[in-house]
Chain A
């Protein structure tokens, strides 16, 4: 499949409005404004577009949940807090093709009846903020944003809000809290943001890549979009391949593609011709899978069948030098650090898990620590206010599930048993700082 989202990202000045218009930009918005909002939602539903942020929820359905008859203002929030470890697709889109996102936001606003969209970008994306704000200025000046867009009577403003750099702010209700100026902590659901969202008003929250797909659907039609991928997994997909591969990076492919094609084709195979040990398929929150499963289709449904998730399509590849205990420790260091601290199991449990993992990795663990890890994980999983808890335990549970022998070897030998490079470099890994 030829890239459609990233076709022009290498073009010099491809992010400007002029270049975007040359490529036929804002025709999707023009089309959308000529249709009633309900029909736009129907088109998005027909295309089968699923949310690219991680959960894979049908976008059209999400928009339909926003009540039409509410007297309150409605909002569209673009979740650009891309902070899942291993994920780096959204900032490419925002940096190189900002007008695609703005067009998607404007169409989304039209569809749900909002007049204001917020793009919540993560605190570290300082340069992206400047690009987006420049693009918004351009679009306003050209009449694609602001009052009476393209003479249709539709008003739409887009604001960029840069967070303070918290992983939890990517959770949709925590994002809303943060946008309101509070601590980025999740809210209780129900009520769902579609009904009670930003400032208590109906709000739709969509990922950057999701919104970038919307103009394509309007321009080329839902049938075209659906035909790009397998059933229920239509459209182009960006994959972020990182780890022990020759050519890490963002690759655009149809969801027909398998993990093997992505790793060995797009990313050029394992670095130095080494053997593949494990793959994280959708960001650090998803379970690891073994080399035997990499012929699975890298789609929402395909990876679910393989025992993992597509998530944010952050594929982290690990070769045979990787220590799985270290992997779990490394990721738990992240989760412990990023836990918002609101609810008990996550706040206390992630810290405890990290301490146990650090002990095992340092060679001071005992066999019962392994069962303790599983038991603590079970006490976190499904008991937390937001999905963070489930995300945090995924690396622990799945590495013990597939690599229990490695944990046991750590305990038996009283040291880390994997010849990872970082150890030779004298680095004790992130656990040393815990």
Chain B
């Protein structure tokens, strides 16, 4: 690879040819602020805060648009640069409302941070600020179903415009009017309608584009714990970070503040879809199953201890009409089940129904079309489950149908023929993600199934029809592995504990196996993964399973780490305390002089 060597602030730096000065500086921990540049959205050159002095060039240059060249000498700290930069920051703030105390971005706002670091010590602007509160474009209004826009705060970096144009593929956002009156608009003020709209909040360097979901919900410093994990709400498996609130004793409400995308060039780049971003709420919903439930003789689901339900399951299973025989049992798992859970379930099926019975386990998932523009760079898969590929690889269940949907015909036929006494359903995903199981509910209602056991996380229609309900854990409540549509085996980490008496699903399955006499003896998920690895030595993703790392909740020590998540990679290098910038002749020109005198 061709490289060039240049000097930035006296440091000799070697970078690949084609690198810009800004990228080189970021890579080497040199402080240059920026707004309009974004690693995935390219160069715009419009915010002008990345001005640097380059030797032999008469004017200051924008670091974002200047390519590194051999022998180039760049200075980011000369008085000329410092003052010019501070001048641009003064401009950026003359119409910015400075309502940081009530702004969702406050505390993780690049405009705030950079202004403190690089801006002047005081503004000399003493005119009323420009506002958008009259006719026409409003300042704090809805911007589509998921977003809000505050045009007063906007600094017109155009990242949102470029995100919609370049990544989403449907350029819904534009800039209207010109000069000082420029503002962000959508056609007929309809707002942004996109499955990727949440990312606009991430790319916005100020609090102009906000998610309705997160509005006034938390402040960054109240989300001090972060867990790096993987989203499992579809087959893509985006890398995400779950943010936990430091919840005081007396506080009610959710523990999870939000989930945000985490940079992963292999899978999701800097982005995630709105499904993963906003629909994680089911994990803390009121419909969560917290205790095992058993249907009484009156037909009511009543809470019962774990021992009680497992004993009941055993009784029902063994109470066959002919003595010495057992009832027939069939298994149906959602593709939200992790690799570990499928392995345990497969083992139980084999133990009870004989060799090869793991293939008869029904594996089900929902397929839903998500309309997206043809040119989108971030395609959200049709399959709403994280582990379809994992089930195929492990040999659990039948291969999918040609349209990508699950093949449940064998199980269905058995149930219809009344050959299944006990149906055990494992459904740790959100409501409906297991696909349409109304035929199971119907079969139970008509008595074709004698006992319906549902191990799940929500009081779905299916759970409501069950005889035994076993409360499991969602993807944010357990360490588990999933294989995404690209065949990458990924680890999703435990961010919060399962609620109430709910348990991690592999553990429930091990207990169920013991209760049914299926003899599964794993003591931890690590043991399960080790066995999978041993069984599949020639599949690199699986052979490496024991080495897969699960993130632990980490203290986000400062706002630096909780900051704008799509750009977290840069924060550690930036921001040391710099002295405030004073403009030349400041004492004479500051409007505050009267106050000082």
Contact = CB atoms under 8 A, between A and B. Distances in A.
Do A and B assemble together? yes
Contact of B589 (A168, A183, A344, A368): A368
A45 B62 CA distance: 33
A431 interface: no
A384 B92 contact: no
B215 interface: no
A371 B588 CA distance: 8
B460 interface: no
Given A344-B155, A352-B94, A375 B48 contact: no
Contacts of B180: 336, 339, 341, 347-348, 350-351
B84 interface: yes
Contact of A343 (B47, B59, B90): B47
Nearest to A337: B179
Contacts of B182: 341, 347
A350 B95 CA distance: 13
A188 B156 contact: no
Interface string B14-55: 000000000000000000000000000001111111010000
Nearest to A369: B589
A355 interface: yes
Contacts of B62: 188
A344 B47 contact: yes
B178 A341 contact: yes
A340 to B, nearest CB: 5
Contact of A183 (B43, B175, B593): B175
Contacts of A336: 179-180
Contacts of A349: 91
B88 A375 contact: no
Contacts of A166: 178
Contacts of A348: 91-92, 94-95, 180
Interface string B571-592: 0000000000001110011110
Contact of B127 (A339, A352, A376, A380): A352
Contacts of A375: 124, 583-585, 589
Contacts of A384: 48
Contacts of B87: 345, 376, 378-380, 383
B130 A383 contact: no
A338 interface: yes
A385 interface: yes
A109 to B, nearest CB: 31
A342 interface: yes
Interface string A371-394: 110011011101111000000000
Interface of A is mostly: helix
B91 A379 contact: yes
A349 to B, nearest CB: 6
Interface residues of A, number: 33
B178 A344 contact: no
A72 B338 CA distance: 53
Contacts of A378: 87
Interface in A32-77: none
Contacts of A340: 178-179
B60 interface: yes
Given A347-B182, A371-B588, A188 B88 contact: no
Contacts of B65: 188
A345 B588 contact: no
Contacts of B584: 375
Contacts of B49: 344
Given A371-B585, A379-B87, A351 B130 contact: yes
Nearest to A342: B46
A309 B457 CA distance: 76
A324 to B, nearest CB: 20
Nearest to B584: A375
Given A344-B47, A351-B130, A375-B585, A382 B60 contact: yes
A58 B167 CA distance: 41
Contacts of B90: 379
Contacts of B177: 341
B324 interface: no
Contacts of B124: 372, 375
B175 A385 contact: no
Given A188-B45, A384-B48, A347 B156 contact: yes
B125 A347 contact: no
A183 B94 CA distance: 25
A385 B59 CA distance: 11
Nearest to B127: A355
B265 interface: no
A383 B92 contact: no
Interface string B249-276: 0000000000000000000000000000
Interface string B137-177: 00000000000000000011010000000000000000101
A349 B94 CA distance: 9
A368 B591 contact: yes
Nearest to B179: A339
Nearest to A386: B45
B101 interface: no
A345 B46 CA distance: 9
A385 B95 contact: no
B179 A383 contact: no
Nearest to B124: A372
B75 to A, nearest CB: 16
A188 B65 CA distance: 7
A348 B92 CA distance: 7
A339 B593 CA distance: 31
Contacts of B92: 344, 348
Nearest to A341: B182
A344 B181 CA distance: 12
Interface in A195-227: none
Contacts of A342: 46, 156, 158
Nearest to B91: A348
A339 B178 CA distance: 7
A371 B46 contact: no
A368 B181 contact: no
A349 B90 CA distance: 10
A376 B125 CA distance: 10
Contacts of B43: 188
Interface of A: 166, 168, 183, 188, 336-345, 347-352, 355, 368, 371-372, 375-376, 378-380, 382-385
Given A341-B175, A371-B588, A375-B583, 7 more contacts: A338-B178, A340-B178, A347-B180, A372-B589, A379-B87, A383-B51, A385-B45
25 contacts: A188-B43, A188-B62, A188-B65, A338-B179, A339-B178, A341-B177, A344-B47, A345-B48, A345-B87, A347-B91, A347-B182, A348-B91, A348-B92, A348-B180, A350-B179, A350-B180, A351-B130, A352-B94, A368-B590, A368-B591, A371-B585, A371-B589, A375-B589, A379-B91, A383-B88
Top 3 closest pairs, chain A to chain B, by CB: A379-B87, A341-B182, A339-B179
